[in-house]
Amino acid sequence: MNGGQGLNSYANNSTYQRGGFEAVKPIMEEEIATKLDLKNRSSKTPFRIADFGCSTGLNSFPAMQTIIQAIEKKIDTQKGLLSGPPDFQVFFVDQLVNDFASLFRLLPPERNYYSAAVPGSFQDRLLPNASIDFAYSSCALNWFSKIPAAVEDRSSPAWNGGRVHYTGARREVFEAYAKHFANDIRLFLEARAREVVAGGLMALLVPAVPTFEIPDNSFATPTELDLVGSCLVDMAKKGKIKKEKIDSFNFPMYLTIPQEFQTILERNPKFSIERFEIIDSPGKSTLAGANARAGFMRAILEVLLINHFGGEIIDELFDRYTKKLASSPVFIDPNNDKSILILVILKRKPE
Ligand SMILES: C[S@@+](CC[C@H](N)C(=O)[O-])C[C@H]1O[C@@H](n2cnc3c(N)ncnc32)[C@H](O)[C@@H]1O
């Protein structure tokens, strides 16, 4: 994600993700009011929350505030639960390369929690045993820890030469992505099962698609990433990008479908699924017009693209993308947006 607070920053181009959080906020408040177990807690012990994949924080801060306010309300309305609100502490978790300096600069001054950053991959253990009371992750679990090796191996049937994503690719490519996603989620859940206290809650907001449509040889719903991919291929045809560079590049991102995600969650014995909601096209209305949509894409992809192709292609790539988007009868109409958001509330079972 683009750091800082400039024109192309994630901070300035993430209203789509923010729209997702706003859509699920009332459900999260309800779940905290009804499912969060505060019976054996003391107001002297800090209540710890962790946001896995916080980026530079502008969408994380309102989410953390919502969780804390919902807990405070619960303590207030159910007298006798605790003698008063505990101290709150928030761990902002993201990759080592995340722009944590911007996150700390942007922290709301009037916040009522202590804050700390935790750098590392959330597929690994990052926090002490049974130290987290509420885990949260929004729009982050769809990103891979790394590209599935088979997709970049010329001798593998899953090699994805000439393409940059699994949509419309051969079945083997799609299967390699799906398998990698399931493994990443398994690792995430295993790590969190160690970190979240018994009875603790976890809210996961995961971008997804409703179902795979399978016209001919296409194994997934087309997304705007396909348009970015087609611009890269166009530039390779014009000699502006080496063809081998396309062959060795794949987007490390996967959009699951609800049934698949639920099955992966059910395989983990340590969490119970308390709620599983599908929110239709959450941020649709937040991205009006090709420029806003291109800004959203650029903010999340630019670093990835620069690392592989170099910075000199970026302006032209996103100019081409904006034009393609504007002239695409399918993608420019928000009513054709097939994206959904899955909200899952999990509870850590007792040992
Ligand atoms: C699209 S941003 C979402 C940011 C914020 N949660 C929101 O809703 O706006 C995804 C974030 O997840 C982080 N992320 C992706 N994979 C990760 C991993 N394996 N470990 C830690 N953070 C990761 C990225 O670095 C990025 O900051």
Q: What is the pLDDT of residues 240-272, one digit of tens each?
A: 999 999 999 999 999 999 999 999 999 999 999
- For the record, the structure tokens of 168 come out as 């419309």
DSSP string across 332-349: SSGGG---EEEEEEEEEP
Q: Which is nearest to 188 in space by CA: 255, 284, 264?
A: 264
Phi/psi at 4 (nearest 5 deg)? 70, -165
6 within a domain of the structure (yes/no): no
Over 80: is that where the pLDDT of 171 sits?
yes
| Count of domains for the chain | 1
245 within a domain of the structure (yes/no): yes
329 CA from centroid of ligand 1 (Å): 31
For position 91, which CATH number holds? 3.40.50.150
Strands 88-94 and 47-52: parallel
Considering the chain, what is the average pLDDT of its residues? 89
155 within a domain of the structure (yes/no): yes
**CA distance linking residue 159 with residue 289, whole number of Å:** 35
Question: Which of the residue ranges 174-178, 183-187, 331-335 would you say has the lowest mean pLDDT?
Answer: 331-335
CB 113 within 8 A of CB 18: no
1 within a domain of the structure (yes/no): no
**CA distance linking residue 232 with residue 58, whole number of Å:** 30
Decide whether any atom of ligand 1 lies within 6 Å of the 2 Cβ. Answer: no
Over 90: is that where the pLDDT of 104 sits?
yes
Alpha carbon 78 to chain centroid, angstroms? 34
**CA distance linking residue 240 with residue 258, whole number of Å:** 39
Decide whether any atom of ligand 1 lies within 6 Å of the 75 Cβ. Answer: no
Decide whether any atom of ligand 1 lies within 6 Å of the 102 Cβ. Answer: no
Range of the domain at 55: 15-348
E-strand ranges in 15-131 read 47-52, 88-94, 114-119
2 within a domain of the structure (yes/no): no
pTM: 0.92
Q: What pLDDT is attached to residue 217?
A: 45
**CA distance linking residue 116 with residue 194, whole number of Å:** 20
Among protein residues, the one with the nearest Cα to ligand 1's atom 11 is: 53
- For the record, the structure tokens of 145 come out as 């820890």
- Look at the chain and count its residues: 351
9 within a domain of the structure (yes/no): no
Alpha carbon 165 to chain centroid, angstroms? 17
Write down the residue that tokens 């081409």 correspond to.
320
193-232 pLDDT, tens per residue? 999 999 999 999 999 988 755 545 455 566 788 889 999 9
What is the percent of the chain with per-residue pLDDT over 90, rounded to a whole number?
67
138 within a domain of the structure (yes/no): yes
Q: What Å distances lie between residue 165 and 254, 321, 324, CA to CA?
A: 9, 16, 18
239 CA from centroid of ligand 1 (Å): 33
Decide whether any atom of ligand 1 lies within 6 Å of the 122 Cβ. Answer: yes
Q: Which is nearest to 139 in space by CA: 52, 240, 227, 67?
A: 52
7 within a domain of the structure (yes/no): no
Provide the H-helix boundaries in 171-289.
171-195, 224-237, 243-247, 258-266
